């Protein structure tokens, strides 16, 4: 239903693919694109399923499986890596008890790497959903996560 | 024209040439792993880098056009160093167990690292072992050998329009797989095997079934017979060191006898039979208002494609089995009865230029008794080449031998079944004479010959002008299929072959097939045709005899049972998916 509605908004041509994927993933409550949905999108645009998968797999922000309520993305850019005298990923991993690319048991958080977020002057940087957090320290990270645990 | 300098030689070439092709004209071969003649440039592998004076970085010669005044070095220490490093990086992510790879000694990566003198790799292997995809009857895909050159993706997408294989992910995690990393068997793969014919390494190959054939030959209780397709006689030579287009019909028969086959037959015989059945089917459809246009059914890649993508046009496809399967059906009925052996004691092998034929042979409807397949094993031309080498046969100096009977007498019309336009021409030679009841003045239908993707001609049949068309490659087949679906097809009869050039460019032919090689193989088949005493299928005396003795009449009851088949829509319907999608909300 949701996908049908979104598909009908776009012309049935290959260039619409990324916009459809973005809008649909955002609108769907579980924020991922399933195999059946890939099939439907491919069929609507008259392109192969492999082509849709290829595009989804190229961009880190598209997902094909269910993730946590909040997606934590740690910048993997070189400046973020060298500026910090702390290892952000290790701190978050310890704090949440999961590794990169895993989701917490309560489905609250998923931890991922992302490519450069373009805020190298404020490194180290991470993003939680649409919100960017800069100049991170261990205490700051703990405070941010605590806030998400309580209020979100 | 552009004047430039390559490796201290002044050259003059056309403006639009790439550096790679310009150098080739002057006998300098720049190595590459992703560039392939006839396929578009994708500059994926970076092996072909060269140095251009005045430019900072190295450039890929496959994608850089020549410019007036360029000074190029294709082999400077800097270029060689880069090329070596790139190769070592590829090797670090490649299963380099060359001795345990069927592409050994025939591998472009192996050849390149040998030329570059790579003795040890400076980089530790980063290869993560992925499962091998081999649960289909035709192809084996080993992702651990894949070097991500993208040739198979281009061929699958642009030549065949099937787009089953795609590049997935990016950077070091790049892979080539069908959607969701599935196996070919679960996707809309037609098993045409074009991917296997362009793969530079052993990542996609036909499934090797030579073991089964050796076992049958060495089993005293089995009578092992073999058929060879038209295209095999003009392509096998290349596999054994001969020039493209060498006609080796008699040598193949000798080699097959030496290998130990009991009877060596010719698929051309059942190609003639196909013309009689299919020609009569066409006449019947035209005169009784049947479904038109009628489309040929010899090509299993095309049948798979139509069943998966165009279920609406399945009634348009001739119900005739392919020559391979007609041969199989007659072997396990007429032949076993004639020589007095049990069906289960007969083992039928076919040698085909095709990987989809392996799939076709195991379709459940391709069995006269419903228990045993009519054709037990299908080998590609490359696999036969391997068997000849394993047997230690000196192929080039073999004497010619004739085919055995009863499936040995054939015509020129059957020989050209192996190239695009050939089935159409063979059919027209017969249909014209049967309908018009007078001999053809000129039996060469030149309009349907050649490598154009789309050919058409008009023939007068019984006072009526009938339009016919010929297409090859599945991308072109898709266009005519869409026309039929939309009801705009102006044709009465259409020939479709899935591979570029027809069977002589099939997925199971020797490596290195390109336009010029295809043309040579086609020329050779027309030479075979021209040299035949009989050049029209309906004049083949063995065909007349088999109707008298066994089949009674074309499209008769026996033909219907043995020589005709039916097709099924196989695509998972979009509507069913929709239900699944809705259920998830």
**What are residue B49's DSSP bridge partners?**
B60
Nearest to B460 by CA among B432, B437, B425, B491: B432
Checking if the pLDDT of B580 tops 80, the result is no
Q: How confident is the model at residue B223 (pLDDT cuts 50, 70, 90)?
A: very high
CA B166 to chain CA centroid, nearest Å: 21
Q: Report how many Cβ contacts below 8 Å link chain A to chain B.
A: 59
Is the Cα torsion angle B581, B583, B584, B585 positive or negative in sign?
positive
Q: How confident is the model at residue A84 (pLDDT cuts 50, 70, 90)?
A: low
Q: How confident is the model at residue A56 (pLDDT cuts 50, 70, 90)?
A: very high
- b/e burial code for range B212-239 (CB count within 10 A of at least 16 → b): ebeebbeeeebbbbbbbbbbbbbbbbbb
Instruction: Decide if A1 touches B, using CB distance below 8 A.
Output: yes
Q: How far apart are CA B329 and CA B308, in angstroms?
A: 25
Q: Would you state the pLDDT for residue B187?
A: 83
Q: Could you tell me the CA-to-CA distances from B334 to B98, B382, B405, B506 in Å, in that order? A: 46, 30, 13, 30
What percent of chain B clears pLDDT 70, i.e. is strictly above it? Answer: 97
- Write down the domain spans for chain A: 2-58, 70-151
Measure in Å the smallest separation between the Cα of B33 and chain A Cα atoms.
22
Q: Is B576 exposed, middle or buried, given 0-12, 13-18 or 19+ CB atoms closer than 10 A? A: exposed
Nearest to B226 by CA among B38, B50, B375, B43: B375
Domain A70-151 has CATH 3.20.20.10: no
For residue A52, the chain B residues in CB contact (below 8 A) are 179
Checking if the pLDDT of B576 tops 50, the result is no
Q: Which CATH number fits domain B91-206: 3.30.2420.10, 3.30.70.20, 1.10.10.60, 3.40.50.740?
A: 3.30.70.20
Q: How confident is the model at residue B579 (pLDDT cuts 50, 70, 90)?
A: very low
Nearest to A127 by CA among A106, A107, A148: A148
Measure in Å the smallest separation between the Cα of B309 and chain A Cα atoms.
11
Q: Would you state the pLDDT for residue B571?
A: 67
- CB–CB contact A57 B580 (8 Å): no
Instruction: Decide if A40 touches B, using CB distance below 8 A.
Output: yes
Nearest to B267 by CA among B216, B233, B302: B233
Token representation of residue A111:
């931890």
Q: In what order do the strands lie in the sheet with B59-60?
A: B9-13, B2-6, B71-73, B49-52, B59-60
In the annotation, is B467 catalytic?
no
Q: Could you tell me the CA-to-CA distances from B143 to B93, B131, B147, B176 in Å, in that order? A: 11, 7, 9, 7
Q: Could you tell me the CA-to-CA distances from B103 to B88, B134, B205 in Å, in that order? A: 19, 16, 9
Checking if the pLDDT of B583 tops 50, the result is no
Strands (E), B23-130: 49-52, 59-60, 71-73
Checking if the pLDDT of A152 tops 70, the result is no
Strands (E), chain A: 70-75, 109-114, 126-128, 131-133
Which residue spans of chain B are classified as CATH 3.40.950.10? 210-563
In the annotation, is B549 catalytic?
no
Q: How confident is the model at residue B366 (pLDDT cuts 50, 70, 90)?
A: very high
Token representation of residue B77:
């220490």
- CB–CB contact A38 B180 (8 Å): yes
Token representation of residue B206:
């036909």
Q: Would you state the pLDDT for residue A116?
A: 87
- Global pTM reads 0.90
Contact between A151 and A136 under an 8 Å Cβ cutoff? The reply is no
For residue A50, the chain B residues in CB contact (below 8 A) are 163-166, 177-179, 187
Q: Which residue of B has its CA nearest to A44?
A: B574
The residue to which tokens 């490659």 are assigned: B473
For residue B162, the chain A residues in CB contact (below 8 A) are 48
Q: How far apart are CA B499 and CA B159, in angstroms?
A: 9
Compute the mean pLDDT over every residue in chain A, rounded to the nearest whole number. Answer: 90
Would you say how long chain A is, in residues? 152
- CB–CB contact B577 A43 (8 Å): yes
In the annotation, is B281 catalytic?
yes
Q: Choosing among A17, A46, A48, which should be mutated to test the B contact, i.e. which has the most B CBs within 10 A? A: A48
Checking if the pLDDT of B385 tops 70, the result is yes
Contact between B404 and B397 under an 8 Å Cβ cutoff? The reply is no
Instruction: Decide if A71 touches B, using CB distance below 8 A.
Output: no
Q: Choosing among B169, B577, B582, which should be mutated to test the A contact, i.e. which has the most A CBs within 10 A? A: B577
Measure in Å the smallest separation between the Cα of B576 and chain A Cα atoms.
10
Q: Which residue of B has its CA nearest to A59?
A: B169
Helix, strand, coil % in chain B, rounded to nearest 5? 45, 15, 45
Q: Could you tell me the CA-to-CA distances from B441 to B54, B275, B438 in Å, in that order? A: 65, 20, 9
Q: Which positions ≥6 away from B465 have C-beta within 8 Å? A: B458, B459
Q: In the predicted model, what is the mean pLDDT of residues B253-282?
A: 96
- Residue with the bigger pLDDT between B389 and B462: it is B389
DSSP state of B156: I
Which residue spans of chain B are classified as CATH 3.10.20.740? 2-75
Q: Which residue of B has its CA nearest to A65?
A: B180
Q: Catalytic one among B195, B298, B299, B499?
A: B298
Closest partner residue to B166 among A40, A43, A54, by Cβ? Answer: A54
- CB–CB contact B170 A57 (8 Å): yes
Closest partner residue to B180 among A3, A47, A53, by Cβ? Answer: A53
Which residue spans of chain B are classified as CATH 3.30.70.20? 91-206
Contact between B204 and B139 under an 8 Å Cβ cutoff? The reply is yes
Q: Which residue of B has its CA nearest to A33?
A: B581
Q: Would you state the pLDDT for residue B578?
A: 33
In the annotation, is B207 catalytic?
no
H/E element, B347: strand B346-352
Residues 108-147 of chain A with CB under 8 A from chain B are none
Q: Would you state the pLDDT for residue A85?
A: 66
For residue B177, the chain A residues in CB contact (below 8 A) are 50
Backbone angles phi, psi at B541, to 5 degrees: -65, -30
Q: How confident is the model at residue B572 (pLDDT cuts 50, 70, 90)?
A: very low
Q: How confident is the model at residue B329 (pLDDT cuts 50, 70, 90)?
A: very high
Contact between A60 and A116 under an 8 Å Cβ cutoff? The reply is no
Q: How confident is the model at residue A79 (pLDDT cuts 50, 70, 90)?
A: confident
Using DSSP's 3-state secondary structure scheme, residue B189 falls into coil
Q: In the predicted model, what is the mean pLDDT of residues B1-10?
A: 93
In the annotation, is B44 catalytic?
no
For residue A45, the chain B residues in CB contact (below 8 A) are none
In the annotation, is B62 catalytic?
no
In the annotation, is B425 catalytic?
no
Q: How far apart are CA B452 and CA B463, in angstroms?
A: 29
Using DSSP's 3-state secondary structure scheme, residue B373 falls into coil
The interface predicted TM-score (ipTM) is 0.85
- b/e burial code for range B465-478 (CB count within 10 A of at least 16 → b): ebebbbbbbbbbbb
| B→A interface, C-beta within 8 Å | 157, 162-170, 177-180, 187-188, 572, 574, 577-578, 580-582, 584-585
Q: Could you tell me the CA-to-CA distances from B566 to B160, B228, B318, B334, B363 in Å, in that order? A: 24, 24, 9, 22, 11
Instruction: Decide if A64 touches B, using CB distance below 8 A.
Output: yes
Q: Would you state the pLDDT for residue B386?
A: 96
Q: Cis ω on the peptide bond leading into residue A124 (within 30° of 0)? A: yes
Is the Cα torsion angle B305, B493, B500, B529 positive or negative in sign?
positive
Q: Cβ–Cβ contacts within 10 Å for residue A117, how many?
A: 19
**What are residue B224's DSSP bridge partners?**
B347
Q: Cis ω on the peptide bond leading into residue B406 (within 30° of 0)? A: yes
Overall CATH class of domain B210-563: alpha beta
Q: Could you tell me the CA-to-CA distances from B476 to B212, B315, B472, B499, B519 in Å, in that order? A: 36, 20, 6, 10, 19
Nearest to B237 by CA among B395, B106, B383, B380: B395
Q: Which CATH number fits domain B2-75: 3.10.20.740, 3.10.25.10, 3.40.640.10, 3.40.50.150?
A: 3.10.20.740
Nearest to B94 by CA among B43, B47, B130: B130
Q: How confident is the model at residue B225 (pLDDT cuts 50, 70, 90)?
A: very high
Q: How far apart are CA B48 and CA B116, in angstroms?
A: 13
- CB–CB contact B581 A52 (8 Å): no
């Amino acid at each position: 239903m949701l996908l049908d509605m979104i598909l009908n908004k776009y012309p049935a041509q290959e260039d619409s693919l990324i916009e459809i994927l973005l809008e649909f993933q955002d609108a769907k409550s579980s924020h991922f694109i399933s195999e059946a949905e890939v099939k439907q999108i491919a069929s609507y645009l008259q392109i192969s399923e492999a082509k849709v998968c290829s595009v989804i797999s190229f961009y880190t922000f598209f997902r094909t499986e269910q993730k946590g309520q909040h997606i934590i993305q740690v910048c993997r850019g070189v400046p973020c890596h060298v500026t910090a005298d702390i290892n952000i990923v290790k701190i978050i991993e310890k704090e949440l008890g999961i590794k990169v690319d895993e989701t917490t048991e309560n489905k609250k958080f998923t931890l991922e790497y992302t490519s450069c977020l373009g805020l190298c002057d404020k490194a180290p940087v991470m993003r939680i959903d649409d919100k960017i957090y800069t100049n991170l320290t261990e205490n700051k990270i703990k405070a941010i996560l605590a806030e998400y645990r309580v209020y979100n | 024209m552009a004047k430039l300098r390559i490796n201290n030689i002044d050259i003059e070439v056309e403006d639009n040439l790439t550096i790679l092709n310009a150098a080739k004209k002057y006998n300098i071969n720049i190595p590459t792993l992703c560039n392939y003649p006839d396929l578009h440039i994708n500059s994926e592998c970076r092996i072909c880098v060269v140095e251009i004076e005045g430019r900072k970085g190295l450039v890929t010669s496959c994608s850089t056009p020549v410019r007036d005044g360029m000074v190029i070095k294709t082999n400077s220490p800097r270029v060689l160093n880069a090329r070596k490093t790139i190769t070592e990086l590829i090797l670090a992510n490649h299963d380099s167990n060359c001795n345990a790879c069927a592409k050994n000694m025939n591998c472009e990566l192996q050849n390149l690292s040998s030329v570059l003198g790579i003795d040890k790799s400076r980089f530790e292997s980063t290869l993560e072992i992925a499962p091998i995809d081999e649960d289909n009857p035709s192809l084996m895909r080993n992702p651990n050998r894949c070097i991500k050159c993208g040739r198979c993706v281009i061929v699958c997408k642009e030549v065949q329009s099937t787009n089953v294989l795609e590049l997935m992910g990016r950077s070091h995690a790049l892979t080539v797989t069908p959607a969701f990393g599935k196996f070919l068997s679960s996707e809309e793969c037609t098993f045409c095997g074009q991917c296997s014919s362009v793969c530079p390494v052993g990542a996609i190959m036909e499934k090797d079934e030579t073991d089964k054939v050796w076992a049958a030959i060495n089993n005293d209780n089995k009578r092992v017979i073999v058929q060879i397709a038209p295209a095999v006689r003009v392509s096998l030579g290349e596999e054994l060191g001969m020039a493209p287009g060498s006609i080796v019909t008699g040598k193949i028969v000798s080699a097959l006898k030496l290998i130990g086959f009991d009877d060596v037959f010719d698929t051309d015989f059942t190609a003639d039979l196909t013309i009689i059945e299919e020609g009569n089917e066409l006449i019947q459809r035209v005169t009784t208002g049947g479904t038109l246009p009628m489309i040929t059914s010899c090509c299993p890649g095309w049948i798979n494609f139509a069943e998966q993508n165009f279920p609406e046009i399945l009634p348009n496809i001739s119900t005739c089995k392919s020559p391979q399967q007609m041969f199989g059906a007659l072997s396990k009925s007429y032949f076993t009865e004639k020589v007095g052996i049990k069906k289960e004691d007969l083992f039928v092998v076919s040698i085909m230029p095709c990987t989809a034929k392996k799939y076709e042979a195991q379709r459940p409807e391709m069995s006269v008794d419903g228990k045993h397949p009519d054709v037990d094993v299908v080998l590609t031309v490359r696999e036969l080449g391997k068997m000849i080498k394993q047997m230690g046969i000196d192929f080039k100096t073999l004497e010619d031998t004739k085919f055995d009977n009863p499936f040995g007498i054939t015509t020129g019309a059957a020989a050209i079944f192996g190239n695009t336009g050939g089935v159409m021409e063979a059919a027209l030679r017969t249909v014209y004479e049967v309908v018009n009841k007078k001999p053809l003045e000129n039996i060469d239908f030149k309009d349907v010959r050649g490598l154009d993707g789309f050919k058409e001609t008009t023939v007068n049949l019984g006072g009526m002008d009938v339009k016919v068309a010929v297409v090859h490659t599945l991308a072109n087949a898709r266009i005519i299929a869409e026309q039929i679906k939309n009801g705009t097809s102006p044709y009465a009869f259409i020939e479709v072959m899935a591979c570029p050039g027809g069977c002589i460019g099939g997925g199971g032919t020797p490596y290195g097939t390109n336009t010029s090689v295809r043309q040579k193989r086609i020329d050779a088949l027309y030479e075979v045709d021209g040299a035949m005493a009989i050049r029209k299928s309906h004049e083949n005396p063995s065909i007349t005899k088999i109707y008298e003795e066994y089949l009674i009449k074309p499209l008769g009851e026996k033909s219907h049972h043995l020589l005709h088949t039916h097709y099924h829509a196989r695509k998972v319907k979009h509507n069913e998916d929709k239900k699944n999608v809705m259920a998830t909300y």
